[in-house]
Chain A
């Protein structure tokens, strides 16, 4: 039996078992591949999405437990119409391999929504669940400060 799921403003009827994690519903059923699989155990943050604005690890949320509207990296902005935070990621040339960056951006977006002026310590606290094997952390930090400044101007 199908489960209704609202992703990036669009409702999908999903015909998968209840216990399939949201990550794999998004990637293999809805066709939104911007959200990445890294570990499956909430240890790397690559699968981070928003549910009703809150950053969650989509590998840990079963389909039947999704409690609100889902926003993925694709819902944040597109290459032709980037969100401020995505633009900051480009301006600061953050990505290397880029695989973890969808999750990093979703986590950072939720930080900025809660805290428009994060300190370095706030960034450490909010971002330490997001792993990057390329070591882009210094530029992630710079991009978050940059996005915070630009969001205040807007």
Chain B
């Protein structure tokens, strides 16, 4: 019989359940048991565990995808902070797909506020809305939400486990619980007697968890420290298991080709050449694509490429220019949203100077280092799926549907992710692997996409355009009127997941556009949705990734028109609106020794973006080396409210910036004849060791709320680089990538 503790603050229910030889602590699905990964026997209650203790030891579950952001370690540290265990002595597992691992912070991001101006009331409302996450079974790693989601719940789980173990010890020793202490995985009695948790686990499983209070931050010994990450030894020795490394007994290897005119039909194919190629075991007709199952991945790739396929037309204009014409047409329609409309932008303030600028950014691929793959074993009444994924409950539902099985008959095994950046929140790779494995029941089949297939079948960051109009007077901006147009990844994703067309105001499309912490009296920002069938998805920082470039490039142009230093111009606007943002600007000013002047051959640019609750300011320095321009240095300041693990925050800030600089410098996905023209890294390169700037990061902690760290480093990088190149050359690039305008070092 499981035990549910009292409802501990708001909606979390941390309870316990007896397991064989021990106890599990975790979250209940509202007031009824969720489908339970622990598979309790009859009469037992189910829960999704965050802490599991038996005779073998202590296991913590971090049901967020580890894609390099350190989530396993930081999540485990939140539990360990209250539980008093050493991270070296415990196991940290991802855990299976389970409804009770819902992400309540992600739903909170849907509120139509700007974020930085959130009141305590709205903040609480946001957390309450998080309950919806459960209803949708939204176990998602994305939106830089993991720590916001886990921060309180995981400490509560740890504290509940600790106090229950103490109660078990108290009963065994004939003492009161408050006479006991805990340290390093043991309860300690006043006389020094130590009882390891493992020995108390079985008895703890029979005890009602007591109500607990969380420790004061002054007592923390893990939170706020840079901890050694639990996944790094495996990743430094080739022993960490990614999706592509899964090797169940009897595994076969497959590769796939889907229509390169994305979403188009397949009119037919001739596989006769492939059938006789070495290693080939089966050709699979997927309806809209073909696959080959072989005894080796490379042989499968060779064979699938030898199939002669008659592909149907693309369901969108087949050339890049025609796509952007469609996007531009969206400006003629009524806006999908106008989430900021302050003052009156239709009246030009007297004596003000008007400036206008149009901007364009291209479609972009995620290009994770690990190409898309998944491994499936279908037996007719059960399906096992192994893959790195950002949404295990969603992929579980999707592949259950594919295999015509109940969700409970599908087990999702989440491995490490060789990069996510939003790509592994999609469900296509799991669905395709399932269909292929269904052609060989009883045999596990690993389907690996070639790099070319991966690059050309992404859910792209949509191409986007902006039309900006502004006015400056007496050295200050007095009006900004901005319009952005692009496809809506949100609308498409809703349709992909639910089967129903998404609609309504899309906040994600205008993130980083309407909600920037600047005091401008007349300020209207609108989003226009272009209706196109090019598959688009969530790309690190999503709408902020294009809006950061639009907003911050335009602000630089306004500063120039106002005759002001671009950093001082921003600082003045942020100071009255949002102090943490001003603090970030002030910090990069100091760090970079910003004077507004640079020697000949050196250019500097600044940009600021507020996203996922975190303001980030960046200064980028470029240098002209005999006609080739090199990105030389970068300074980053962010205010995350509370840095749970400073070394991880630093790594995410630098990584997010490099991801953005890579796109700004070289990244572009183009279309011809309905097909993506980029195939592999030589056509879609990124920054490398020799052209990555020397970077310094400062982490501030004055923000009122815990901010995200995985994405906010990306949005300011692109405009900061463009602004630096303007400073160096006097040429303003109003479109990306920048290597089309400048001779950048490759």
Contact = CB atoms under 8 A, between A and B. Distances in A.
Interface of A: 16-17, 20-21, 23-24, 27-29, 31-41, 43-44, 46, 72-74, 76-79, 82, 86, 89-90, 93-102, 105, 123-125, 127-141
A82 B236 contact: yes
Given A136-B651, A138-B695, A94 B278 contact: no
A35 B416 contact: no
Given A40-B451, A133-B367, A138-B692, A97 B237 contact: no
Contacts of A132: 369, 688
B28 interface: no
Contact of B297 (A37, A46, A100, A130): A37
Interface string B227-268: 011011111111111101101000001000000000000000
B370 A140 contact: no
A135 B657 contact: yes
Contacts, number: 196
B369 A133 contact: yes
A140 B497 CA distance: 39
Given A43-B680, A138-B692, A74 B369 contact: no
The residue in B228, B235, B279, B654 that gathers the most chain A C-beta atoms within 10 A of its C-beta is B235
Contacts of B726: none
B351 interface: no
Contacts of A82: 233, 236-237
Contact of A96 (B69, B226, B228, B692): B69
A97 B236 contact: no
Task: Report, as a range, how many residues of chain B touch the other chain.
Answer: 35 or more
B239 A43 contact: no
B371 A38 contact: yes
Given A93-B232, A97-B417, A133 B659 contact: yes
A98 B298 CA distance: 23
Contact of A99 (B278, B297, B419): B419
17 contacts: A16-B279, A38-B370, A38-B451, A38-B681, A39-B681, A43-B680, A90-B232, A93-B647, A95-B68, A95-B229, A97-B68, A100-B369, A101-B236, A133-B662, A135-B662, A136-B651, A140-B689
Interface in B1-51: none
Interface string B49-89: 00000000000000000011110000000000000000000
A97 B232 CA distance: 9
B232 A94 contact: yes
B425 interface: no
A86 B67 CA distance: 20
Contact of B237 (A23, A34, A38): A34
B681 A73 contact: no
A128 B690 contact: yes
Contact of B682 (A21, A41, A134): A41
Describe B's contact surface by its main secondary structure. loop
B297 A34 contact: no
9 pairs of A and B residues whose beta carbons are closest in the complex:
A34-B238, A96-B68, A135-B658, A98-B235, A99-B418, A73-B238, A97-B68, A124-B690, A24-B298
Contacts of A31: 247
Given A29-B296, A72-B238, A93-B647, A41 B451 contact: yes
Given A44-B369, A99-B419, A28 B238 contact: no
B450 interface: yes
B298 A21 contact: yes
Interface centre among A34, A76, A93, A136 (most CB of B within 10 A): A93
A81 to B, nearest CB: 9
Contacts of B448: 37
Interface in B643-676: 647, 651, 654-659, 662
A28 B695 contact: no
B440 interface: no
Contacts of B659: 133-135
A28 B296 contact: yes
Contact of B369 (A46, A138, A139): A46
A77 B234 CA distance: 11
A37 B687 CA distance: 19
B623 to A, nearest CB: 15
A99 B240 CA distance: 9
Given A39-B681, A97-B67, A97-B420, A127 B369 contact: no
B686 interface: yes
B299 interface: yes
B632 interface: no
Interface in B681-712: 681-682, 686-690, 692, 694-695
Contact of A17 (B229, B279, B682, B687): B279
Given A33-B247, A131-B681, A137-B658, A97 B238 contact: no
Contact of A24 (B239, B297, B367, B417): B297
Which of B236, B418, B686 has the most chain A CB atoms closer than 10 A to its own CB? Answer: B236
